[in-house]
């Protein structure tokens, strides 16, 4: 009995020791808004630091208030401090002191009281009644980062900070171009820095310029208006909403919101179990002024269920599309002939099996197999075939090598993909792609890649196909094809076969992580016909791409190509992308 | 000739041995009746209630007639004593109180950091207790003093990746911008990038082909959790992940 008690006591002591040690490790942060108001609140984007000065008042979600002269929070370290004439108001009473610091992941708060005399107190897990007095503190507990050489990106009167997800500034005055341009005070702005990648999902189609303004948000949501520009639509505004939950998300957008032709998008994803997930993509197109009854409307919904299997996975995908969602007009069009009534509303279903990569013995070679079944039904007929229903089956495989060492310090690599589809019209579609590369590091920061890409495709009847928005049918080529045929065949309308051979060389120079330059030259041989008046790709092409840092966190990427006058095009338009790293 | 003879005489005679009556070197001079002030250096976070408090959390008592000086002008400061200023405090070791404080907007070179001042001069009501939290850890945390680490990330992409496509890294630090970091093609199956990151940096990332519709997935085509990278104290790091599938390609 004594031994049992002794063993139990030892076990309890060991557990207690373990818990104390465990508490020293950083804990996952919980969502707890911290409201800060001051004479001046500043956000330094490059340093990810928020500072506030002058009559600082900090209110935490647990009811604790801290007042002081200055506040600073490092968003990457999840700590904040209040210093100078500090008054700490807790459920255990008010305390006056010199400094207060909260290390949120460690559940530690450090306080330097001055009344009745200077001391050092540490609070554990929010227990303000029983501070640990005299305990040594981290040397940088109250260090106020010196940002005098930096300019703030946002200036405000108040900020609400959720250390897990966002900071909301109100009102927000932006200092752009390193302070050269200052905006007027704007409505609240939410800066989201959540580790949840679903906040990055974009439901807006491309634009040349996109400036989002997040006006509302929480740990699980984000609302933004976007000011956008593209050469076709010119300037317009859009709206986007994000909700994140568990391992899923929903994103709703309206783009553009300020022009008659509108696109409503809803994307959703949920991990229904560790081995399965379901996703939804819907798009609704309307032609309407404001939010009045639309003149014209069409759309589609696509649902995908994915299930992980042993060494493979399966996917079921259902797509329902409507070419016209409004009632049939008497004249055959809505308003004017540019908005015709189109009766088609195809339903597409696909089931796909996809194997994991498998090694072939000890050869170094690997392969991957995919197969699927598809069906499309449209009572008004599938394209020009007149058939109301079509089915398809496909198999595809890819075999690829690792990078083998070649002569003169080169690396050799190749891959070969083949796909064959049977359609019930009847018809067959074949595609083969061979890619071979030879690469060599010419200098520490200079890489050369020589490449050959041969893309070949054929079909028995170019017209007996269906355009599938449903990738699981195996008939949704990338990039998107307007005929349902593989892209290379789509470039040769009406032809039963096409081949494109591209021979290229690329030099990639990276003298520093802040600068990348890529130069490429390629020759394309397209058959059956490669003339300047066909869809065929240019025979010769040069491309250049420069990416460089313009501020501490911003990069600019500029691309341009030269087509040697192919189809009257000498230079391709510049492509600029500015992105934050 | 006489000078030469004297020089020869000095060379022949033995070197005189220092005697106790000689003046001792300055570093072992006997204490004088006038104590030498101890200079305390650091960033000031509070100046009130008879204390000056540094960012190390160390408080020092102020003498009743403490003088305040602007280091740049030598006169009394024309600005308010606000948190964040840097200072050198002249500590009278006899009374353990600060008699003079020199303020500046930038760190001052002279003096002893407040954290290194003997504890007997620091005002603290409770006896000092050890802090086990401060034991060395496996991973360090970012600070102003953290050094840069060159990180090379080389990713292997799936064999069906279109040859002309670019591959990017999206990170939580970039707001999950799907084109945050552009990678360089190394060969038909590999892309790489070198970035400089501070020791202690922790970030989460995923690979994309430029959009979230073409983001990486796990082997089964399901969304995967973001990858995590902690930069530990090293001159260089290599990370060689593999992307098995893209969301938009079978």
CATH class of A34-189: mainly beta
Position with higher pLDDT, B3 vs A219: A219
Same domain for B116 and B153? no
| Rounded CA separation B66/B49 (Å) | 13
Separation in Å, CA of A301 to nearest CA in chain B = 16
> Are residues A534 and A507 in contact, defined by beta-carbon separation less than 8 angstroms?
no
Please name the residues in contact with B186: beta carbons below 8 A apart, sequence gap of 6 or more: A439, A447, A449, B154, B192
Contact flag A140-B130 (C-beta cutoff 8 Å):
no
Q: Where are the domains of chain A?
A: 34-189, 202-345
Name the A residues in 169-188 with CB < 8 Å from any B CB.
Answer: none
Q: Are B119 and B48 in contact (CB under 8 A)?
A: no
B10 pLDDT more than 70: no
Q: Is the pLDDT of residue B13 over 70?
A: no
Give how far B91 is from chain A: nearest CA, Å.
Answer: 17
Report chain A (581 residues): mean pLDDT per 10 consecutive residues. Answer: 53 44 64 94 91 96 95 90 96 95 92 94 94 90 89 95 94 87 94 92 84 93 94 93 95 95 96 95 94 93 96 96 92 90 93 95 93 94 85 95 93 95 94 95 92 96 85 77 83 91 95 89 94 85 92 81 90 82 63
The span from the CA of A176 to the CA of A186, in Å, is: 14
The 3-state DSSP class for residue A482 equals: coil
- Taking CB atoms and an 8 Å cutoff, what residues of chain A touch B126? 119-120, 133-134
Q: Is residue B127 part of a domain?
A: no
Which secondary-structure segment (H or E) carries A472?
Answer: none
Query: With an 8 Å Cβ cutoff, are B123 and A112 in contact?
Result: no
CB contact under 8 A, A271 and B223: yes
Would you state the pLDDT for residue A384?
73
Task: Tell me the pLDDT band of B11, cut-offs 50, 70 and 90.
Answer: very low
3-state secondary structure of B121: helix
**With a CB-CB cutoff of 8 Å, which residues 261-290 of chain A face chain B?**
269, 271, 275-277
Closest in B45, B57, B186 to A84, CB measured? B45
Q: Which residue of B has its CA nearest to A557?
A: B182
B109 lies in the same domain as B50:
yes
Question: Which residues have C-beta within 8 Å of that of residue A503, sequence separation ≥ 6?
Answer: A451, A452, A522, A523, A525
Query: From the CA atom positions of chain B, what is the Rg in Å?
Result: 31
First to last CA, chain B: 103
Residue A4 φ then ψ, to 5°: -60, -45
Domain presence at residue B139: no
Interface of A with B in 524-543 (CB under 8 A): none
Which of these, A141, A120, A140, lies nearest to A131 by C-alpha position? A120
Number of domains in chain B: 2
pLDDT in the model for residue A358: 95
Residue in A414, A553, A579 nearest the CB of B179? A579
In angstroms, the Cα distances linking A176 to A44, A152, A179, A354 are 12, 9, 5, 49
Q: Which residue of A has its CA nearest to B124?
A: A119
Strands across the sheet containing B168-171: B181-182, B168-171, B202-208, B227-230
Query: B176 and A200 in contact by Cβ < 8 A?
Result: yes
Q: Residues B7-28: what's their mean pLDDT?
A: 44
Sequence-separated (6 or more) residues with CB below 8 Å from residue A194? A164, A165, A166, A219, A244, B172
Q: Judge whether residue B9 has pLDDT over 60.
A: no
* Contact indicator for B14, B72 with CB cutoff of 8 Å: no
Residues forming beta bridges with residue A229, ordered by sequence position: A209, A235
CA gap B104, B41 in Å, rounded: 11
Q: State whether residue A302 sits within 8 Å of chain B by CB.
A: no
Closest-CA distance, A22 to chain B, in angstroms, reads 11
For residue A270, give both structure tokens: 């949920």
How far apart are the CA of A18 and the nearest CA of chain B, in angstroms?
13
Domain CATH number, residue B209: 2.60.40.10
Query: How, if at all, do strands B112-113 and B38-48 pair?
Result: parallel
User: What is the predicted pLDDT for the residue at B24?
Assistant: 41
Tell me if B174 and A581 make a contact (CB, 8 A cut-off).
yes
Nearest CA in chain B to A144: B84
Closest approach of B96 to chain A, Cα-based (Å): 14
Q: Helix, strand, coil: what percent of chain B each, to 5? A: 10, 35, 50
Q: Which of A259-263, A410-414, B205-209, B246-250 is predicted least confidently?
A: B246-250
Separation of alpha carbons A524 and A183, rounded Å: 50
Q: What is the pLDDT of residue B14?
A: 45
Token pair belonging to B228: 């995590």
Do the domain assignments include residue B137? no
The CA distance from B87 to B41, in Å, is 6
Question: B46 contacts in A (CB within 8 Å)?
Answer: 69, 83-86, 98-99, 112, 114
Evaluate whether residue B132 is within a structural domain: no
Token pair in block for residue A221? 């949501």
* Chain A, nearest residue to B151 by Cα: A513
Task: Return left, alpha or beta for A411; rule: phi > 0 is left, psi -120 to 50 is alpha, else beta.
Answer: beta
Q: What average pLDDT score do residues B189-194 get? A: 90
Give the CA radius of gyration of chain A.
31
- A and B: number of Cβ contacts within 8 A: 261
Report yes or no: B187 and A413 within 8 Å, Cβ to Cβ: yes
Q: What's the residue count for chain B?
A: 250
| Residues near B124 by beta carbon (within 8 Å), at least 6 away in sequence | A118, A119, A120, A134, B59
CB of A345 within 8 Å of a chain B CB? The answer is: no
Distance CA A455, CA A432 (A): 6
Residues B174 and B209 occupy one common structural domain: yes
> What residues in A contact B240, CB-CB < 8 Å?
none
How far apart (Å, rounded) are the C-alpha atoms in residues A1 and B188? 70
Q: How many angstroms separate the CA atoms of A285 and A325, rounded?
A: 10
**Which residue in B129, B159, B186 has the most chain A C-beta atoms within 10 A of its own C-beta, making it the best mutation to test that interface?**
B159
Among A84, A132, A134, the residue with its CB nearest the CB of B82 is A84
Q: Evaluate if residue B5 carries a pLDDT over 90.
A: no
Pairing of strands A347-355, A312-322: antiparallel
Query: Domain check: are B158 and B241 in the same one?
Result: yes
Tell whether A197 is within 8 A of chain B (Cβ).
Answer: yes
Domain that holds residue B64: 35-121
Minimal Cα–Cα distance from B159 to chain A, Å?
7
CA nearest to B56 within chain A = A139
CA distance A193 to chain B (A): 6
Sign of the Cα pseudo-torsion (B104, B109, B111, B115, in order): positive
Percent helix, percent strand, percent coil in chain A, to nearest 5 = 5, 55, 35
Q: Are B126 and A120 in contact (CB under 8 A)?
A: yes
Residue B9 is assigned to a structural domain of this protein: no
pLDDT at residue number A40: 97
Same domain, B102 and B189: no
Instruction: For A264-282, give the secondary structure using H, E and C.
Output: EEEEEEEEEECCEEEEEEE
Q: Please check whether residue B61 lies inside any domain of the structure.
A: yes
Q: From CA A195, how far away is CA B225, in angstroms rounded?
A: 10
State the pLDDT at residue A199.
94
Q: What is the band of B135 on the pLDDT scale with cuts at 50, 70, 90?
A: low
List chain B residues with CB under 8 Å of A404. none
Q: What pLDDT, on a 0 to 100 scale, did the predictor assign at position A479?
A: 66
Question: What separation, in Å, do the N-terminal and C-terminal C-alpha atoms of chain A show?
Answer: 64
Q: What is the pLDDT of residue A476?
A: 78
Cβ of residue A138 closer than 8 Å to a chain B Cβ: yes
Asked if A349 and A318 touch (Cβ cutoff 8 Å), the reply is yes
Burial of B205 (0-12, 13-18, 19+ CB in 10 A): buried
Among the ranges A321-330, B14-23, B172-181, which has the highest mean pLDDT value? A321-330
d(CA B202, CA B137): 15
Distances (CA, A) of A190 to A48, A57, A89: 14, 20, 28
Is A19 an 8 Å CB contact of chain B?
A: no
Cβ separation of B142 and A76 shorter than 8 Å?
yes
Interface test with B, best of A69, A164, A369, A438 (most B CBs within 10 A): A69
Does the CB of A60 have a partner CB in chain B at under 8 Å? no
Hey, are the CB atoms on A510 and B184 less than 8 Å from each other?
yes
CA A396/CA B76 separation, integer angstroms? 82
Q: What is the pLDDT of residue A399?
A: 96
Q: What is the pLDDT of residue A5?
A: 56
Task: Determine, for residues B189 and A24 on separate chains, whether the beta-carbon distance falls below 8 Å.
Answer: no
Cβ neighbours of A201 in B, within 8 Å: 212
The pLDDT, as a whole number, for residue B132 is 79
Q: Using CB atoms, which residue from B133, B143, B206 is nearest to A140?
A: B143
If we measure between CA atoms, which residue out of A552, A443, A563 comes closest to residue A507?
A: A443
Report yes or no: A74 and A66 within 8 Å, Cβ to Cβ. Answer: no
Nearest Cα residue in chain A from B194: A513
**Domain check: are B167 and B218 in the same one?**
yes
CA distance A561 to A575: 10
What CA–CA distances, in Å, run from A191 to A45, A154, B143? 10, 10, 23
* Residue among A118, A308, A437 whose CB faces B222 most closely: A308
**Alpha-carbon distance B230 to A349, whole Å?**
44
Contacts of B179 in chain A (CB under 8 A): 557, 577, 579
Report the pLDDT averaged over residues B143-152.
Answer: 70
Residue of B nearest to A368 (CA): B159
């Amino acid at each position: 009995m004594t031994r049992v008690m002794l063993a139990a006591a030892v076990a309890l002591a060991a557990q207690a020791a373990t818990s104390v040690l465990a508490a020293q490790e950083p804990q996952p942060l919980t969502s707890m808004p911290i409201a800060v108001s001051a004479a001046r609140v500043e956000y330094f984007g490059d340093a990810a630091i928020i500072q506030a000065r002058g009559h600082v008042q900090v209110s935490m979600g647990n009811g604790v208030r801290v007042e002081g002269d200055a506040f600073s929070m490092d968003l990457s370290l999840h700590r904040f401090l209040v210093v100078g004439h500090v008054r700490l108001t807790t459920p255990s009473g008010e305390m006056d002191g010199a400094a207060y610091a909260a290390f949120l992941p460690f559940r530690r708060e450090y306080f330097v009281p001055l009344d009745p005399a200077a001391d050092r107190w540490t609070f554990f897990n929010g227990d303000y009644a029983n501070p640990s007095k005299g305990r040594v503190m981290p040397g940088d507990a109250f260090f106020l980062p010196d940002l005098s050489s930096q300019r703030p990106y946002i200036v405000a009167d108040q900020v609400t900070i959720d250390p897990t997800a966002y900071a909301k500034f109100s009102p927000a005055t932006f200092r752009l171009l390193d302070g050269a341009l200052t905006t007027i005070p704007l409505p609240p702005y939410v800066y989201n820095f959540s580790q949840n990648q679903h906040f990055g999902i974009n439901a807006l189609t491309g634009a040349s310029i996109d400036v989002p303004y997040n006006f509302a948000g929480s740990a699980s949501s984000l609302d933004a208006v976007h000011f956008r520009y593209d050469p076709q639509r010119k300037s317009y505004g859009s709206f986007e909403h994000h909700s994140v939950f568990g391992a899923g998300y929903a994103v709703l957008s309206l783009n553009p919101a300020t022009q008659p032709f509108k696109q409503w998008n809803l994307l959703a994803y949920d991990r229904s179990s560790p081995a399965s997930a379901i996703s939804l993509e819907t798009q609704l197109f309307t032609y309407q002024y404001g939010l009045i009854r639309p003149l014209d409307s069409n759309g589609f919904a696509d649902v995908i269920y994915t299930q992980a299997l042993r060494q493979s996975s399966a996917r079921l995908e259902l797509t329902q599309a409507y070419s016209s969602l409004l009632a049939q007009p008497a004249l055959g069009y809505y308003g004017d002939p540019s908005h015709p009534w189109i009766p088609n509303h195809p339903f597409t279903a696909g089931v796909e099996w996809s194997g994991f990569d498998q090694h072939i013995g000890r050869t170094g070679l690997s392969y991957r197999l995919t197969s699927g079944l598809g069906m499309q039904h449209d009572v008004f007929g599938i394209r020009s075939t007149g058939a109301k229903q079509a089915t398809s089956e496909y198999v595809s495989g890819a075999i690829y090598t690792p990078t083998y060492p070649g002569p003169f310090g080169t690396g050799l690599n190749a891959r070969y993909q083949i796909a064959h589809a049977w359609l019930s019209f009847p018809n067959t579609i074949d595609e083969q792609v061979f890619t071979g590369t030879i690469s060599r590091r010419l200098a520490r920061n200079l890489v050369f890649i020589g490449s050959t890409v041969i893309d070949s495709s054929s079909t028995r009847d170019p017209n007996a196909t269906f355009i599938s928005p449903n990738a699981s049918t195996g008939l949704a080529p990338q990039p998107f094809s307007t005929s349902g045929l593989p892209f290379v065949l789509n470039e040769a309308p009406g032809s039963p076969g096409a081949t494109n051979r591209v021979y290229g060389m690329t030099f990639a120079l990276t003298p520093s992580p802040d600068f990348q330059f890529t130069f490429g030259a390629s020759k394309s041989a397209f058959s059956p016909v490669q003339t300047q008046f066909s869809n065929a790709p240019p025979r010769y092409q040069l491309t250049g791409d420069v990416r460089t840092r313009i501020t501490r966190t911003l990069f600019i990427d500029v691309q341009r190509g030269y087509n040697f006058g192919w189809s009257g095009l000498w230079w391709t338009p510049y492509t600029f992308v500015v992105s934050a790293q | 000739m006489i000078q030469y003879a004297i020089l020869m005489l000095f060379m022949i005679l033995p070197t005189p041995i220092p005697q106790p009556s000689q003046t001792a070197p300055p570093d072992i001079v006997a204490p004088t009746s006038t104590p030498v002030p101890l200079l305390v250096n650091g960033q000031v976070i509070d100046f009130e209630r008879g204390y000056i408090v540094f960012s190390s959390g160390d408080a020092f008592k102020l003498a009743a007639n403490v003088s305040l000086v602007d280091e740049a002008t030598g006169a009394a400061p024309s600005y308010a004593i606000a948190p964040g200023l840097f200072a050198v405090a002249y500590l009278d070791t006899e009374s353990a109180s600060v008699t003079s404080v020199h303020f500046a907007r930038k760190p001052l070179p002279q003096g002893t950091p407040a954290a290194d001042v003997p504890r007997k001069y620091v005002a603290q009501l409770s006896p000092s207790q050890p802090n086990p939290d401060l034991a060395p850890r496996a991973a360090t945390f970012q600070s102003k003093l953290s050094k840069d680490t060159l990180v090379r990330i080389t990713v292997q992409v799936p064999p069906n990746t279109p040859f002309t496509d670019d591959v990017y890294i999206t990170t939580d630090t970039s707001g999950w911008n799907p084109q945050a970091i552009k990678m360089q093609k190394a060969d038909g199956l590999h892309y790489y990038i070198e970035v400089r990151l501070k020791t202690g940096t922790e970030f989460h990332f995923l690979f994309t082909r430029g959009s979230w519709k073409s983001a990486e997935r796990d082997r089964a085509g399901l969304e995967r959790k973001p990858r995590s990278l902690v930069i530990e104290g090293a001159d260089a790091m290599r990370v060689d992940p593999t992307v098995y599938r893209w969301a938009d390609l079978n």
